[in-house]
Amino acid sequence: MEKLSFLTEDQVRVVRERFGSPVFVYDQNTLERRAREVLHFPNAFGLTARYAMKALPTAAIIKVLTDTGLHIDASSGFEAERALRAGVPPEKIQITAQQIPADFKELVEKGVLYNSCSLHQLQHYGEHFPGSKVTVRINPGLGSGHSNRTNVGGPSSSFGIWHEHLPQLYEIAARYHLTVTGMHTHIGSGSDPDVWVNVVKLSLGIAAKMPDVRTLSLGGGYKVARMNYEKDADLQVIGKKVVPEFEAFAREHGRKLHLEVEPGTYLAANCGAVVATIIDMVNTGAEGYKFLKVDSGMTEVLRPSLYGAQHPIVVVPQQAEPRGVEYYLVAGHCCESGDVLTPEPGNPEGLKTRMLTHARIGDALVIEGAGAYCSGMASKHYNSFPEGAEVLLTTTGELKLIRKRQSLDQVIENEIIA
């Protein structure tokens, strides 16, 4: 059976009492510990580590992570703007985006870094900033994501400039007198150090053909164990295997490449939990299931419905008392059959029961591993449910509200009756 990770049962009860339900709780200790691990990523010739803020873009979290020395990877102009408003200096923000921001020029003039992710984006950069230094995202032709929906490299991924299109890339660079000083790859989740070494070899092979490149970003995609049978990527092991590759490149090409990494999941995933409430229980007969229904679901945690992703689930009785166990399915509160928190692993169409503490209506249900791609990615406002609140459990053990619960007024504030 799964256990609470950073909260105690009593804290769960206090959280629900003080902040209502559903509510996200994030653990500052875990965030800072993870940040230190990332900042100690082994490297041959220097390191810049960025937090991929799309994982969890709340200002207080950005502040906690950037205070440790992390820079920011932003996935849109809006994210960059959010980071600026959270107090991050522009030169510590790099945009790697699918869509050129409307205020592209203003952002770059402010000092925000812009990583060109397609030939079109590079051309756009050249038109606005001829004669400057640029970095480019390359699709090295290989992906390692855990599902089709998270694969971000290889021929079936649209992210980055295809590795065989360097001639076109340099044609554009020459036209606008751009110097390509940085190469970036981000090809998906993994924990196997040998896969990382292969990716690095492949990337260095491409960087060898780019004579002015001095920085190589390996992106994010470091796998995190949410479930107890999963395995965390070991940054020390991966990094130590990568160092000799950078050293060999330096000997062969006379260039000491600065390393960049930009994890999102690794920093945020296990720092967060959703505290929800069991609002109903439904039994579908001898051939069916026992369902727990909660006042959360895809409105806070969309990943199970999207990928069949697994999150640990813990029932916390309203009052501390001994209870037995039971097999349940857990469903969310949306009128949508896909709103389940217990899909079959890797298959959002399937269902798989979980052994949980015997539950009663009114008990709390905690969804763990909900720091990354939950609050930031949820199915906002479906069934008109307002966004839940967010709370930070600080290093001194205080529970601090960092995002208020939305009101219905806020959900509909931009609507106009014709």
Member of 28, 43, 58, 96 binding ligand PLP (CB under 6 A): 96
Q: Which of 19/222 has CB closer to ligand PLP?
A: 222
All residues at 6 or more sequence positions from 409 whose CB lies less than 8 Å from its CB, including other chains: none
Which range, of 24-32, 263-271, 290-298, 329-337, touches ligand PLP by CB under 6 A?
263-271
Which residues on neighbouring strands pair with residue 329, listed in sequence order?
Answer: 291
The site map against ligand PLP for 113-152 (x = CB under 6 A) is ----------------------------------------
**d(Cα 232, Cα 265) in Å, to the nearest integer?**
11
**d(Cα 305, Cα 238) in Å, to the nearest integer?**
31
Q: Which of 101/332 has CB closer to ligand PLP?
A: 101
Question: Residue 57, interface with ligand PLP (CB under 6 A)?
Answer: no
**d(Cα 219, Cα 157) in Å, to the nearest integer?**
15
Indicate the residue whose CB is closest to ligand PLP.
Answer: 220
Residues in 366-395 that interact with ligand PLP by CB under 6 A: 372
Which range, of 8-16, 30-38, 52-60, 63-71, touches ligand PLP by CB under 6 A?
52-60
Q: Taking the mean position of all CA atoms in its chain, how far away is CA 262?
A: 10
Q: In the complex, what is the shortest distance from the CB of residue 259 to ligand PLP, in angstroms, rounded to a whole number?
A: 14
Which residues on neighbouring strands pair with residue 251, listed in sequence order?
Answer: none
Q: Which long-range contacts (CB under 8 A, 24 or more apart) does 321-326 make?
A: 323/357, 323/358, 324/357, 324/358, 325/1, 325/355, 325/356, 325/357, 325/358, 326/290, 326/355, 326/356, 326/357, 326/358, 326/359
Measured CA angle at 130 (ends 102, 159), to 5 deg: 55
Member of 27, 37, 73, 387 binding ligand PLP (CB under 6 A): 73
Q: Which of 233/393 has CB closer to ligand PLP?
A: 233
Q: In the complex, what is the shortest distance from the CB of residue 191 to ligand PLP, in angstroms, rounded to a whole number?
A: 12
**d(Cα 365, Cα 357) in Å, to the nearest integer?**
10
Question: Residue 190, interface with ligand PLP (CB under 6 A)?
Answer: no
Question: Residue 262, interface with ligand PLP (CB under 6 A)?
Answer: yes
All residues at 6 or more sequence positions from 211 whose CB lies less than 8 Å from its CB, including other chains: none
Helices (H) and strands (E) in the chain, counts: 12, 20
Which range, of 233-241, 256-264, 303-311, 326-334, touches ligand PLP by CB under 6 A?
256-264
The site map against ligand PLP for 7-36 (x = CB under 6 A) is ------------------------------
Question: CB–CB of 147/135 below 8 Å?
Answer: no
Q: Which two tokens stand for residue 299?
A: 């409105």
Which range, of 2-10, 191-199, 218-226, 379-387, touches ligand PLP by CB under 6 A?
218-226
Q: In the complex, what is the shortest distance from the CB of residue 120 to ligand PLP, in angstroms, rounded to a whole number?
A: 17
Question: Residue 219, interface with ligand PLP (CB under 6 A)?
Answer: yes
Q: Interface with ligand PLP by CB under 6 A: which residues?
A: 52, 54-55, 73, 75, 96, 186, 189, 219-222, 262-266, 372
